Each structure stands twice: as C-alpha cells, then as structure tokens.
C-alpha cells in the first residue's frame, strides 16, 4: 500500500499534468491574433477626384485639338507663303524671296517647324526696315523689341504670334496705302482720318517707297 508521501507526490504530478493540459487546451481555443488594421473596402471615388479627372481629360482633348489646329495652320501657311510674297513683292523686302529659296533647300522635322522658321525670318526681315515699324503702336513696338532679343529657338517659338499680331496688320496697312496711291485717291481713301493721321500715313508710304526703290536698285 502506497505511503502518504507517495500519494501526495502522485497527486502533485496529476495537478501539474492537468494544468499543462488545460494550458494547451486554452491555447488551442484562443483565436489567432487579428491584424491591427484589417483591410478596408476600397474607397469610393471622391467627387473632387472625379472633377480633377474630368478636367485632365478635357485638357487632353483641348491639347489634341490645338495640336491639330496648329498643324493645319502650318500646312496652309507653307502652301501659300510663296503666293503671299509674290502678290506683295512690291511691298515686302526682296530679301524675303531669298528666304523662301533658302527654306526650300532646308530639311525640317515637321511642317510646324518649317512654318515657324519662315515666319520668324519674315518678321525679322520686314521690321528691319524702320519705316515698316511706323505701322505699329507703341506697345507693339515694345513687343517687337523684346522679340528681337530672344534666341533663335525663342524667336521661332513666338514667331506665329508675332506674324499674326504684328506682321499681318502692318502688311495690310501698307497694302491699303499702296492701293490708295495707285488709284490716285489717297485723300479720299482715308477721308475719315484727320490731318495728323493722313500725314503719318503719307510718311509711312514714302518711307516704304524709298526703301523698296533702293532695294530694286541694288538687285
């Protein structure tokens, strides 16, 4: 028969085994640790984000339209620039004809590059004649001065704007003066102008004639 000491030792051993078994059972029952930040459902598009996307899409469409418009304008200009120069050869500097010939020998990466190069050269050649600058307003003269300070690349980048807003209006003014002179109706042709305006136009026309005649004589 076991002694009291043996029974006590057996009881302690059973308690220890029971405690270990209970701890193991509790461990098995315990759920795995949940992540601190469980994944959330993807957020719905913010209205502001949609607005930004819409603006970007519209900007992209506008950019494409502008590129197409610019290319079409360049193609039209390149096709008709020779006719423009020929039709106005008695007004434009003879140097511009030489510019077209030189451009015909050059290679350009695009129609836009060629158009910009031609417009830049035409603007510079035309306004190299001081009398042609008289057709410009004070603010336009300032813009021209700033333009002429640009680098070659800068001039070509801004050539379209200068051609459209400075060269073309000045050319139209000279054409009107020439027409009035040919018809012998200078005063009636500008009957709405005052004496100061008519004197200015007369000086402009005379200056242009002198330069043109000098160029003709140099040929």
Statement: residue 126 has pLDDT above 90? yes
Contacts of residue 136, defined as CB under 8 A and 6 or more positions apart, other chains included, come to 144, 166, 170
What pLDDT is recorded for position 52?
A: 78
Instruction: Indicate the pTM of the whole model.
Output: 0.59
A 10 A CB-CB count for 89 gives 13
Judged by average pLDDT, the poorest of 72-76, 122-126, 210-214 is 210-214
Q: Where are the domains of the chain?
A: 69-218
* First and final C-alpha spacing in the chain: 144
Question: Regarding predicted confidence, which is higher, 180 or 144?
Answer: 144
What pLDDT is recorded for position 112?
A: 95
| pLDDT digits 0-9 by tens, 91-107 | 999 999 999 999 999 99
| pLDDT digits 0-9 by tens, 190-210 | 544 555 556 555 666 665 555
Statement: residue 213 has pLDDT above 50? no
What pLDDT is recorded for position 53?
A: 78
| pLDDT digits 0-9 by tens, 27-80 | 666 655 555 666 666 566 666 677 777 777 777 777 778 888 889 999 999 999
What pLDDT is recorded for position 18?
A: 62
């Amino acid at each position: 028969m076991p002694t009291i000491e043996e029974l006590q030792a057996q009881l302690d051993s059973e308690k220890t085994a029971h405690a270990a078994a209970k701890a193991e059972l509790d461990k098995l029952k315990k759920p795995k640790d949940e992540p601190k930040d469980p994944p959330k459902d993807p957020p719905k598009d913010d209205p502001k984000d949609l607005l930004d996307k819409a603006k970007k899409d519209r900007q992209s469409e506008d950019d494409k339209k502008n590129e197409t418009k610019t290319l079409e304008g360049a193609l039209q200009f390149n096709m008709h620039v020779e006719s423009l120069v020929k039709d106005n050869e008695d007004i434009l500097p003879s140097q511009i004809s030489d510019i077209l010939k030189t451009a015909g020998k050059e290679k350009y990466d695009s129609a836009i590059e060629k158009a910009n190069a031609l417009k830049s050269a035409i603007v510079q050649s035309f306004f190299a004649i001081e009398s042609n600058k008289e057709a410009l307003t004070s603010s336009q003269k300032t813009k021209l001065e700033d333009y002429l300070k640009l680098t070659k690349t800068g001039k070509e980048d801004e050539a379209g704007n200068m051609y459209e807003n400075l060269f073309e209006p000045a050319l139209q003014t000279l054409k009107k003066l020439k027409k009035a002179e040919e018809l012998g109706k200078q005063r009636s042709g500008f009957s709405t102008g005052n004496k100061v305006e008519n004197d200015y136009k007369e000086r402009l026309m005379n200056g242009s004639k002198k330069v043109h005649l000098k160029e003709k004589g140099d040929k």
